[in-house]
Amino acid sequence: MNFREMRAKLIASYGKFVFFPDDYEISKLVSTRAFSHLIIDGDDIVLYAPKLMEQQIEEELEEGYDVVYETPKIKGEYNVSPSAKLKNINFKFRIGEDILKKALRKPFCEELELIREESKKIEVALQRFWEHIELGMAAKEIKAILDCELLKEGIEEFSYPSIISIGKNSLHIYPSTDGVLEAGMILYVDSSPSLNGYPLNFSRVIFTEERKDWLDALERINDMYSKIGRVGAGMPCDDLDKIIRKVGNFPHYSVVPSGGFYQPFAPEDCILEENMLGTIVPSVYMSEGIIRVKRNIIVQKSSLEFLV
């Protein structure tokens, strides 16, 4: 039984579910998207698909699910994920977000290895990206370079369009990818590349001149990351939140779920557990733009493992 089958069994222990191939969580449950319905009902996990998908299913399906080449007749009430396209559902259903929060709280060890490999690919792509950036480039050109380098390294898709924001544009709630990079500006980079269905959300900044207040802000962020490296399982999320906010006050959450998993989430009444996956989101708001360095973490017994 692979980790996808274990995840499906875990969901089944909470309730009946119908998943569709474009569901956000589907890559954690099945190794192919060549189907119409994945129905989880107790011990029965069945993949329904048109007959024309048979060859693709035979090539891609790694799980021991039953496969039926017909349209399912769904009776009774089932749960669907929050990402389901409700207009296409023609059976009685309810949104199973609470169940998914329990069943997708943290990754299995096999998934962590996939996520670590993804992190390495992103780091390689970022290194090439830095080497291409020059003054005079338009933000849209820089975005194209970032996306291209990530895709060349094997990234499959993005949870949201990559953000390349220059100067004060980065201070907006929805930063605009506009403008031209010039001396005396902060370049803000924010992306959420996904591989094998696991998105890793990161951000970085580039300074086009050495300004003391910018460098001091970045040093506070780096010092904070050094301190929380010694944090481990058992710490309340609120305590971690307090450490992160010492870089400066900001209006958003300091720790959010990553990799498509639902915890940790700070500030919140939760405790860090081993193998939890999260994104640290420290920010310093300057008049000239935002200084934010989002990094992904894996919680270990007595420390944090840093990803991209």
d(CA 56, CA 141): 37
Last residue of a domain, one of 56, 82, 103: 103
If asked whether residues 52 and 116 sit together in one domain, one would say: no
Domain range spanning residue 124? 109-306
Q: Residue 276: which CATH number?
A: 3.90.230.10
If asked whether residues 88 and 122 sit together in one domain, one would say: no
- What are 114-139's pLDDT values in tens digits? 999 999 999 999 999 999 999 999 99
**164 has which bridge partners?**
189
If asked whether residues 96 and 174 sit together in one domain, one would say: no
If asked whether residues 16 and 152 sit together in one domain, one would say: no
pLDDT at 262: 92
Contact 165, 175 (CB under 8 A): yes
Secondary structure of 223-270 as H, E, C letters? HHHHHHCCCCCCCEHHHHHHHHHHHCCCCCCCEEECCCCCCCCECCCC
If asked whether residues 246 and 153 sit together in one domain, one would say: yes
Confidence of residue 186 (pLDDT cuts 50, 70, 90): very high
Dihedral in degrees, nearest 10, Cα atoms 224, 227, 230, 233: -40
Confidence of residue 296 (pLDDT cuts 50, 70, 90): very high
Last residue of a domain, one of 74, 103, 132: 103
Residue among 297, 300, 273, 218 at smallest CA distance from 105: 273
Q: What is the mean pLDDT of residues 51-80?
A: 97
- What are 196-251's pLDDT values in tens digits? 999 999 999 999 999 999 999 999 999 999 999 999 999 999 999 999 999 998 99
If asked whether residues 202 and 117 sit together in one domain, one would say: yes
Instruction: Answer whether residue 87 shows pLDDT above 90.
Output: no
Q: Residue 30: which CATH number?
A: 3.40.350.10
pLDDT at 176: 82
pLDDT at 107: 97
SS3 24: coil
If asked whether residues 59 and 116 sit together in one domain, one would say: no
72 vs 267 pLDDT, higher one: 72
d(CA 16, CA 37): 13
Number of domains in the chain: 2
What Cα–Cα distance (Å) separates residue 100 from each residue in 6, 32, 105, 239, 241? 14, 20, 8, 26, 24
If asked whether residues 248 and 164 sit together in one domain, one would say: yes
- What are 13-61's pLDDT values in tens digits? 999 999 999 998 899 999 999 999 999 999 999 999 999 999 999 999 9
If asked whether residues 158 and 76 sit together in one domain, one would say: no
If asked whether residues 210 and 252 sit together in one domain, one would say: yes
Q: What is the mean pLDDT of residues 62-76?
A: 97
- φ and ψ at 297, to 5 degrees? -130, 150
If asked whether residues 136 and 16 sit together in one domain, one would say: no
Q: What is the mean pLDDT of residues 167-196?
A: 94
If asked whether residues 89 and 117 sit together in one domain, one would say: no
**Number of neighbours of residue 228 by Cβ within 10 angstroms:** 20
Last residue of a domain, one of 70, 103, 136: 103
pLDDT at 113: 97
